[in-house]
Amino acid sequence: MSNNFPFACNSTDHFSRRTLLKAAGASGLLWLTPIAQQLARANETEPSGKPARSVIVLWMQGGPSQLETFDPHPGSEAAYGSKAIQTAVPGIELGEGLEHLAELMPDVALVRSVVSKEGDHERATYNVKTGWRPDPTLIHPALGAVMCHELSDNVEIPRHISILAGQWAARGGYLGDQFDAFKIGDPQGPVPDVTPRVPQARFDERIQRLQALEDEFARGRLRNLDAGKTLHRTSINAATRMMSSAQLKAFDISLAPQAQREAYGDTPFGRGCLAALRLIEEDVRCVEVTLNGWDTHANNHELQLGNVKILDPAFAQLLRDLKARGLFDSTIVICAGEFGRTPKLNPLGGRDHWPHGFSMALAGGGLRRGVAIGETSPVLREGKPDVERDVQRPVAVEDVHATVLTALGINPLDEIMTPVGRPMAFSKGRVIEDLLG
């Protein structure tokens, strides 16, 4: 499918049961009958029926502990004293420190039984970001790359963006380097390399001379040069278009109200989540924001709680702002890391790598809300986790990818021919029907 820019669309609120309840709540009106209120609230958990348009990936680099975040087992042998809090959904608890997110649990779906076969950081990161295990014969595209390849728009800035990811940024894989995520650091600083270092007239002259040089080069020995493969001219045109685009302001979080900036937390991750919101408002397809420091082989409880306190306000405020701007139904938010942590503490008080049953949180789009799918056992057998019996209703990493692609209106079974002539489907996973309603 084409990756050109035909159109963009904006969702508009319509007079529905959801709008009715929103109006009643905002004005303090109590004239809705109990049945009408139940119907309106039920609509809050129903998918919108329209494909989602964008994805925000909150990437927990290092592997967050499911037992201290989305799948706590307080008082159990595996908890080792870690605590849990009640949420706004009866029967669903979250780890201590996620108080803001607990209030918004009716808008969130938890998958508590994700399993994979990758326990190494690099391989597991590849697995979760692409939905495939590493293969020496090709590089698979990340979710955002697939989206940008399959869904078109007219955005002048990069459509696939990675904030704070460093070397772990999502890649375009066999779809091409043009689908790699555009990387930036802490959004409190300027976007690098987008401001000309010479006067505009001089800059324009340089571009014209470069164009003339390329034309002359193409007429020489390499007159059959395939510009579609080199992408040099395409890249130059995209870069210059971006440098003059008003959409660049989306990166500048200093333009947001101070109260909004404070609500996300005064951290690089919080600022990254605010930038993600602003970029999604400009119809960027996929933004990933990385929070590092979850690899807690020692002092697990202290380090996990420290990161939870950074995650909680940013994640929750992102959901609130998406809803306030009418973008929640068209945006899927995924909070995940490469794997979880062991149910048993090691001698250093840490939890080691654990791909045999970990958690992801998803919200928005056409996904169900206020549910927890799957579960892990808090019981240690003979002092060790039981891999074979620890997870009930296991969900493979590729199943999450297939589900998100389906919610985006992309058939996960669609195939594309790789550069070496090998047909590849976007995903081999099975759709999690309970997540799609």
Residue 44 located in a structural domain: no
List phi, psi (to 5°) of 262: -65, -35
Residues 219 and 161 in one domain: no
Minimal CA–CA distance to 294: which of 57, 62, 82? Answer: 62
CA atoms within 13 A on the CB side of 381: 7
Same domain membership, residue 166 and residue 69:
yes
* CA 346 – CA 368 distance, rounded (Å): 37
Which residue, 307, 391, 300, is CA-closest to 347?
300
16 assigned to some structural domain: no
Rounded distance between C-alpha atoms, residue 235 and residue 1, angstroms: 20
206 plus 186 within the same structural domain: no
Which string of DSSP letters, residue by residue, matches 38-67? HHHHHHHTS--SSPP-EEEEEEETT---GG
Where residue 161 sits, what CATH number does that domain have?
3.40.720.10
C-alpha span between 39 and 437 (Å, rounded): 16
CA atoms within 13 A on the CB side of 396: 14
Structure tokens at 266: 């005064």
What is the per-residue pLDDT for 41? 42
Which pLDDT value is given to residue 147? 98
The verdict on 380 and 351 lying in the same domain is: yes
Give the end of a domain, one of 245, 262, 282.
Answer: 245
Whole-number pLDDT of residue 210? 74
Task: Specify if 37 maps to a domain.
Answer: no
The amino acid that residue 102 corresponds to is: A
Look at residue 317 and tell me if it is in a domain.
Answer: yes
pTM value is: 0.83
What does the longest C-alpha to C-alpha distance in the chain come to? Answer: 79
Each residue's pLDDT expressed in tens, for the chain with a length of 437 residues: 333 333 333 333 333 333 333 344 433 333 344 444 444 444 444 444 789 999 999 999 999 999 999 999 999 989 999 999 999 999 999 999 999 999 999 999 999 999 999 999 999 999 999 999 999 999 999 999 999 999 988 899 999 999 999 888 999 999 999 999 999 999 998 887 777 777 777 767 777 777 777 776 666 655 555 555 556 666 777 777 787 789 999 999 999 999 999 999 999 999 999 999 999 999 999 999 999 999 999 999 999 999 999 999 999 999 999 999 999 999 999 999 999 999 999 999 999 999 999 999 999 998 999 999 999 987 766 656 665 567 889 999 999 999 999 999 999 999 999 998 999 999 999 999 999 96
- For the residues of 165-186, what is the DSSP string, one character each? -GGG----GGG-GGGSPEEE--
Q: What is the distance in angstroms between the CA of the first residue and the CA of the last residue of the chain?
A: 28
Q: Are residues 170 and 207 in the same domain?
A: no
